[in-house]
Homo-oligomer: A and B are copies of this chain.
Amino acid sequence: VESEQLVGLAEIRDAAKRIAGLVRRTPIVPTSLGTASSPLLLKAENLQVTGSFKARGAGNAVALLSPEERARGVITHSSGNHAQALARAAREAGIHATVVMPRQTPDVKQLATLRHGARVELVEPSERASRVEEIRAETGAVFISPFDNPHIIAGQGTVGLEIFEDVPELASVWVPVSGGGLISGIAAAIKALAPHVRIIGVEPELAGDLAEGFARGQRVTWEAARTGRTIADGLRVQAVGELNWPHITAYVDHVVTVSEDAIRSALRQVVLGCKLVSEPSGAVSVAGFLEHHAVAGHGPAVAVVSGGNVEPSVLAELLGAESERARESG
């Protein structure tokens, strides 16, 4: 991929104008989790419509469809936040959306996607791609990847514009990485505005495909059985996208990994200390900062809390464990 194919600041600024009426400008929330030299602030994308940053990219991609494409509708496969985001963006635009989901997708996520007006079809995980192809062939629906798409990257990049506007003195941004759409967009925006700001990708150790690939200088893929073990259900994608890889190699300074215990501990701190409901994936950035802040040097750090769509039972279990701990130590 040539550098002229990378998403640029102008496209991200255009995306910001395009989606201004569709998404929220989420707040920056201060915390007491930082160090003396690096205060930590959270970009609260858990407060975004549909509960995650995915509404930005989906909104931009849908807005850029041609009239002819709009008539055909959109399709994606996702069990997660992109499904809800695309469903909502399509409904806002008055077009049809189809989401192909693995049969195992939790009820609450199936229901949320249906509630946003999409047609949902459940399939065996192995049939996901082929079923999407069949529906595309039948209906002509436009496939919108959750991350491997320049309009998605430009939309997610609006998170970076807002961070820089609200915290112009920032020194680092910490971003959870799965397919790489969010970090590609944020990095493209921030490096164009302030090249000295460090961009740090954070992955669970159990889904550390980018950390491995970044160290080796070559995009790698991990097996689903391997990435599927992390509690961070939004970060189980097996490799960053083909278009995301060159953005990451061009703009990202470090990729670090965190243990499952570190993710659980960070999630408890975000919920009980910062009073924000995060999903496990959303707290991975905070875990990364807490373990690795030395790599970023001094100055304010912003961690992106990417989403808040946590299963009630997962959160209850985590908080139950917390009150156990409080009783024991009390």
Contacts and interface: CB of A to CB of B under 8 A. Distances in A.
Contacts of A312: 272, 319-320, 322-323, 326
Interface in A260-279: 271-272, 274-278
A313 B323 contact: yes
A46 B271 CA distance: 11
A319 B314 CA distance: 9
Contacts of A107: 326, 330
A195 interface: no
Nearest to A29: B47
Given A27-B27, A47-B275, A326-B107, A313 B319 contact: yes
A274 B311 CA distance: 14
A274 B308 CA distance: 9
A30 interface: yes
Contacts of A24: 30
A137 interface: no
Contacts of A30: 24
Contacts of A311: 323
Contacts of A319: 312-313, 315-316, 319
A250 interface: no
Interface string A271-295: 1101111100000000000000000
A24 B316 CA distance: 29
A51 interface: yes
A108 interface: yes
A30 B51 CA distance: 12
Contacts of A320: 312-313, 316, 320
Contact of A271 (B108, B277, B326): B277
Contact of A51 (B46, B108, B275, B278): B275
22 contacts: A24-B30, A27-B29, A46-B275, A47-B276, A107-B326, A107-B330, A108-B326, A271-B277, A272-B312, A275-B277, A277-B277, A311-B323, A312-B319, A312-B323, A312-B326, A313-B320, A316-B317, A316-B320, A316-B322, A316-B323, A319-B319, A320-B320
Closest 10 CB pairs of A and B: A275-B308, A313-B323, A27-B27, A316-B319, A107-B330, A275-B277, A316-B320, A312-B322, A312-B319, A312-B323
